[in-house]
Structure 1
């Protein structure tokens, strides 16, 4: 998104405005016929009280494993029916899972995102909860013509038409004549939209659905790696190298192309938003509602009908067991303060932790063979993020060539991408008659996402000793911005760095399927176990992998399915 697009985006958009922005993208891409399908497929599932009257399950107990957004949304919905809910969250000092905002100040003004950072306008379920909790949103700028592309020691501005890349980066690669003749923006459009538009509109809907079988045309993308699809588009190795050097998502070259086509179909990286004050405000809103005896979010439901919610932070589940008669589920859990395992019995359980950590949990009897295989094999992306608290916003200082207020710079170096805070992007004037405008000055402190990378670069950078990692990131940020070596040493006041592979309760950043895995596992990953007593939720069980949308939607789906089956078992 360039700055002209940014000006089209108001803060706190209405649903009508979001839909207008989505339509504009689809018209430009020549596929407006996808609009209704995208909206319908990404909208929340039917309201849970459509199936069961509120308060119907007073006295019934549900255990939820994981306090991420999937677990929180499931708890929020099940509470409407009167269930007593216990949420087990391993982390002691925060909830939200891979939504992780780090605040450098007590006022909450200087912060960076170590997890989720963007919300596409098309993600209807996410916006359902944003609107419900009345959260403040501001535009997130993905593409800024003043940001940089730094490839093969060559630095250019990332202009909206891609002329700088075409003129200065192309010659660094031994491209075929037809590849050289296509401008960068058209080449990128070719590799992202041409495969998508080869599918009929009806088959495209399968991209956002979990099905037992997929159309043979879509199966081609499920079973093929990104590299295979690019080769089938007749791109040379040099052109593939060019694409993956400029676009950090090239780190997923050997993963299934279904991951990439999911983003393209729902126009995820066009118009996006960010929660003002930090993405952590979304899980915090769930938390405040769930612990309140008189929450304002439940319309037309009496407080007497609502269930009770118990949040056990610092407690991790180590065992899931079917009771002897099969009518209950036993959870074994631990915490640091009590030196022995504890057990609690529930009528139903929702497992909303990543399969990467579910792998550590004892399960008896075992779940279905396909579910156990998925737990062993489903692939999670490595990812590393490092944020810098900077004493000034050096990226906003260049008045002659253009300030970088929001947007992303990309590079073929290990840091892969640099994300600039969007809070000054709304400034109409940076500089007035009396100097810099307050709240828009580059000499104010700011938080820079200095490195956001994936896969091998994330593993290599993330496994460095921390001091060495931070030093390397500083040097590479200097190169991207054309700054003298050592410049960042006096600029960076503090930092926070996370390698998601090494986070003990995640062991990976988000699901990124390998070729064939969606066809083999996705449908079975959602199936309940223990005769409808254990359900599953989380972005890994969704059709929108890696997004908040997937976590929230599957949390709601798990709650609905649990309620429906509970009514049948009464």
Structure 2
């Protein structure tokens, strides 16, 4: 395994790189070589419900192992909670409405990034001009203090990783790369409504528009949130403990507000646009590492603050965020051009942003029910991360590979 470097050394070396591309060799390239899944026994027919990263990674590995795979996706796109917004922004700008950061130690995520030759850029800038906004006053802080305040305020432990990345061009490039490999195996706008399973196989009824269709297979992988799975009719019902966790598992709320501005006025000798507030909000410029004069500031809220914002209409969400950012970065309203929002608790196919099961819950969530397997960030030790989705997809693919 390649050696790690600390954040300071990484930033020093990546800043010196002439192209806006962060090579995986900087963080131990040999650690991210892809290993193909191996099948034991005969090839199987497998249905996967959900084309998020867990379903896509499992589908990819199962296809590589020689299984016959079909993926049912209720949305018209792949990626699930990996969602990159390009509209209504100008100048080819984009912003992450879902999964945004890739820590340097998330090996399984980076393994596929390498496999698909996706370029990475650093998520955070190489300076100390971060802002902490408390009691109505902004204060310039260094990286360590910024990371500590983010952890206290919103629970994200930035200090645990040596470096942080994002995919150049948008994080949705990763699910799109999977989907390109699996394009003849994915059925979009296909919402599962009924699952039937027994010792002989599985059957899934799904709806497309006003029409219903049925698929049969040897194995089923449920790669969708339990907040959605609990709406599907299951015959016979799973074991009582599994059925209970499906119905009871709670998902956290998260919301994002994006403000396109005509200039990147927040870039000064004392500010880089990254801030943490005492109102449970992280602020960062989504346009960091994107070319052009225009820029996008993003407010990222969780928990009760997110739910309060979700109850507002789109324009009121934007107005509230403008009022907050005017205090942190004066001139935001004067530079504002257009905006967008995403509140995951109101998303029909997500029902929330993520969950944090304890060890006992994890074991129950991940445990197969006969010929039915389970994947998703909720079914991993890296809940809420792309790594968790991929990790669980690989685990479930391994279960199916080893099944008789």
Same fold (TM over 0.5): yes
Q: Does 1:82 align with 2:66?
A: yes
Q: Does 1:146 align with 2:129?
A: yes
Q: Distance in 1 between matches of 2:126 and 2:153?
A: 17
Deviation digits for residues 223-260 of structure 1, max 9, x if unmatched? xxxxxxxxxxxxxxxxxxxxxxx4366346xxxxxxx7
How big is the shift at 1:546? Answer: 0.9
How big is the shift at 1:519? Answer: 3.3
How big is the shift at 1:342? Answer: 2.7
* Residue number in structure 1 paired with 2:278: 412
* Residue number in structure 2 paired with 1:316: 191
Q: Distance in 2 between matches of 1:269 and 1:408?
A: 18
Deviation digits for residues 524-570 of structure 1, max 9, x if unmatched? 2111112xx111111110001111111111111111110110xx2xx
* Residue number in structure 2 paired with 1:280: 172
- CA root-mean-square deviation: 2.8
CA contact (8 A) 2:34 2:111 kept: no
**Local SS of the residue matching 1:510:** coil
Q: Distance in 1 between matches of 2:91 and 2:45?
A: 36
Deviation digits for residues 25-67 of structure 1, max 9, x if unmatched? xxxxxxxxxxxxxx7xxx7996322x448xx52xx42111001
**Local SS of the residue matching 1:410:** strand
**Local SS of the residue matching 2:224:** coil
**Local SS of the residue matching 1:394:** coil
The change in CA–CA distance for 1:107 and 1:281 in structure 2 (over 3 A counts) is farther
**Selected match of 2:314 from 442, 456, 466:** 466
Q: Distance in 2 between matches of 1:422 and 1:554?
A: 31
* Residue number in structure 2 paired with 1:330: 203
How big is the shift at 1:319? Answer: 1.3
Q: Does 1:367 align with 2:238?
A: yes
Q: Distance in 1 between matches of 2:309 and 2:97?
A: 15
CA contact (8 A) 1:44 1:124 kept: no
How big is the shift at 1:114? Answer: 0.2
Which structure shows the higher strand fraction?
2
How big is the shift at 1:343? Answer: 2.1
Q: Please list, as runs of the form range in 1=range in 2, the aligned pairs for 1:507-518 lying within 5 A after superposition.
A: 507-513=351-357, 518=358
**Local SS of the residue matching 2:337:** strand
CA contact (8 A) 1:108 1:277 kept: no
**Selected match of 1:526 from 366, 369, 385:** 366
The change in CA–CA distance for 1:356 and 1:389 in structure 2 (over 3 A counts) is same
The change in CA–CA distance for 1:6 and 1:348 in structure 2 (over 3 A counts) is same
Q: Distance in 1 between matches of 2:187 and 2:270?
A: 49
**Selected match of 1:496 from 319, 323, 340:** 340
**Local SS of the residue matching 2:182:** helix
CA contact (8 A) 2:22 2:122 kept: no
TM-score (normalised: structure 2): 0.89
The count of corresponding residues between Structure 1 and Structure 2 is 394
- When Rg is computed on C-alpha atoms for both structures, the one with the higher figure is 1
CA contact (8 A) 1:141 1:422 kept: no
Which structure shows the higher helix fraction?
1
CA contact (8 A) 1:88 1:316 kept: yes
* Residue number in structure 1 paired with 2:3: none
Q: Which runs of 5+ in 1 are unaligned?
A: 21-38, 163-183, 189-245, 253-259, 292-308, 426-438
* Residue number in structure 1 paired with 2:383: 545
TM-score (normalised: structure 1): 0.64
**Selected match of 1:448 from 297, 309, 316:** 297
Q: Distance in 2 between matches of 1:127 and 1:108?
A: 28
CA contact (8 A) 1:45 1:556 kept: no
Q: Which runs of 5+ in 2 are unaligned?
A: 1-5
The change in CA–CA distance for 1:453 and 1:394 in structure 2 (over 3 A counts) is same
Q: Distance in 2 between matches of 1:457 and 1:370?
A: 32
Q: Distance in 2 between matches of 1:347 and 1:470?
A: 48
